[in-house]
């Protein structure tokens, strides 16, 4: 279906004696289905599904919390919490086949920007 | 105060005909809330064999609701092999050769450890953790200077 080039750069020149500065790039082959860049309001209600666990495949998932105050919790469809995305922060990771992904705002509704692509 | 910047670029020339995909995101890593700076950095490389089975990549910190980040990359070269990545008893995902992940890590329980397992063959990995807090474990030597 298509290829994605995903590049992460981490840098910090002020904290440690040895500055952190590295970059990693991955070339990903994707296939259908994919979810293009989407803006979604995430409320404090539980079980707001972003990726359906019933859709087979490994998905590469990107999300960014556009809110300036509140954080978003990411969890599997079994409500296993594993990440909180603070205001302005983003993440990129693979979602395991059959896990699905849900989001929930902690304190107030947040606008989450997200997209995912199925591994080809 | 640490000022660690994470930047992500996702590009695709052919995902949608006539609509080149270009996503760019950047943020400073923050402690819980809006306090900038994760002062504790822990990084390294390693090699996983299939026989090693399930290995702990990082213990939970035993501190609830702190903001931490985990970077993990599979530097293997065989496309059929992958590293299975787990948090607690949940498999988060698979990292195939060349894949990486960057994700926040919230320890809502002291069992929130990261684990990895090689599937298909031996694979090299690289990791980095950016942490809010870390409490040194008690020494088995007891009191050094009684």
Which pLDDT score, from 0 to 100, does residue B108 have?
60
Domain B38-131 matching CATH 2.60.120.510: the answer reads yes
Asked whether residue A99 is domain-assigned, the answer is yes
Q: How many domains does chain A have?
A: 1
- Residue A43, classed as helix, strand or coil, is coil
Q: Do A92 and B12 touch (CB under 8 A)?
A: no
Distance in angstroms (rounded) separating the CA atoms of residues B109 and B101: 22
Which pLDDT score, from 0 to 100, does residue B135 have?
74
Asked whether residue A65 is domain-assigned, the answer is yes
Mean pLDDT across A30-49: 93
CB contacts < 8 A, A to B, total 162
Q: What percent of chain A has pLDDT over 90?
A: 71
Q: Do B2 and A14 touch (CB under 8 A)?
A: yes
Task: Give the nearest chain B residue to A93 (CA atoms).
Answer: B101
Distance in angstroms (rounded) separating the CA atoms of residues A110 and A89: 12
Asked whether residue A64 is domain-assigned, the answer is yes
Domain locations in chain B as residue ranges: 38-131
CB proximity B44 to A under 8 Å: no
Kindly report the CATH number assigned to the domain that includes residue A77. 2.60.120.10
ipTM over 0.95: no
Domain that holds residue A35: 30-119
**Of the candidates A98, A97, A75, A90, which has an alpha carbon nearest to the alpha carbon of residue B82?**
A97
What does the pLDDT look like over A53-110, one tens digit per residue? 898 999 999 999 999 999 999 988 777 777 889 899 999 999 988 889 999 998 999 9
Given CA atoms B73, A117, A25, B42 in this order, what sign does their dihedral have?
A: negative
Query: In whole angstroms, what separates CA B111 from the centre of its chain?
Result: 16
Asked whether residue A112 is domain-assigned, the answer is yes
Q: Are A84 and A106 in contact (CB under 8 A)?
A: yes
Q: Is the peptide bond before B123 cis (omega within 30 degrees of 0)?
A: no
Tally: H helices and E strands in chain A: 0, 9
Q: Do B93 and A96 touch (CB under 8 A)?
A: yes
Q: Which of B14, B38, B76, B99 to mutate to test the interface with A (most CBs of A within 10 A)?
A: B99
Q: Do B33 and A20 touch (CB under 8 A)?
A: no
Asked whether residue A69 is domain-assigned, the answer is yes
The pLDDT averaged over each successive group of 10 residues in chain B (146 residues) is 91 86 92 81 94 89 78 95 89 93 79 91 95 79 72
CB proximity A49 to B under 8 Å: no
Asked whether residue A45 is domain-assigned, the answer is yes
Distance in angstroms (rounded) separating the CA atoms of residues B71 and B49: 20
User: What is the value of pTM for the model shown?
Assistant: 0.91
Asked whether residue A23 is domain-assigned, the answer is no
């Amino acid at each position: 279906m298509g290829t994605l080039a995903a590049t992460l750069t981490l840098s910090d020149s002020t904290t440690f004696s040895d500055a952190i500065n590295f970059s990693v790039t991955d070339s990903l082959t994707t296939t259908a289905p994919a979810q293009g860049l989407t803006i979604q309001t995430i409320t404090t209600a539980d079980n707001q599904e972003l990726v359906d666990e019933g859709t087979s495949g490994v998905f590469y998932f990107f999300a960014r919390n556009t809110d300036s105050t509140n954080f978003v919790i990411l969890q599997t469809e079994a409500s296993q919490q594993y990440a909180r995305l603070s205001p302005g922060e983003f993440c990129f990771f693979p979602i395991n086949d059959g896990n699905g992904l849900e989001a929930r705002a902690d304190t107030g509704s947040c606008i989450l920007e997200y997209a995912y692509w199925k591994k080809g | 105060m640490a000022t660690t910047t994470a930047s992500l670029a996702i590009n695709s020339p052919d995902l949608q005909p006539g609509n080149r995909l270009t996503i760019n995101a950047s943020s400073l890593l923050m402690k819980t809330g809006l306090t900038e700076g994760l002062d504790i950095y822990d990084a390294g490389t390693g090699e996983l064999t299939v026989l090693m089975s399930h290995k702990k990549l990082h213990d939970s910190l035993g501190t609830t609701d702190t903001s931490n980040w985990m970077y993990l990359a599979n530097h293997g070269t065989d496309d059929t092999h992958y590293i299975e990545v787990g948090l607690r008893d949940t498999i988060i995902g698979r990292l195939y050769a060349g894949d990486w992940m960057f994700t926040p890590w919230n320890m809502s329980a002291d069992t929130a450890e990261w684990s990895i397992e090689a599937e298909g063959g031996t694979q090299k990995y690289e990791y980095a953790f950016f942490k809010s807090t870390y409490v040194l474990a008690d020494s088995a030597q007891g009191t050094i200077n009684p």
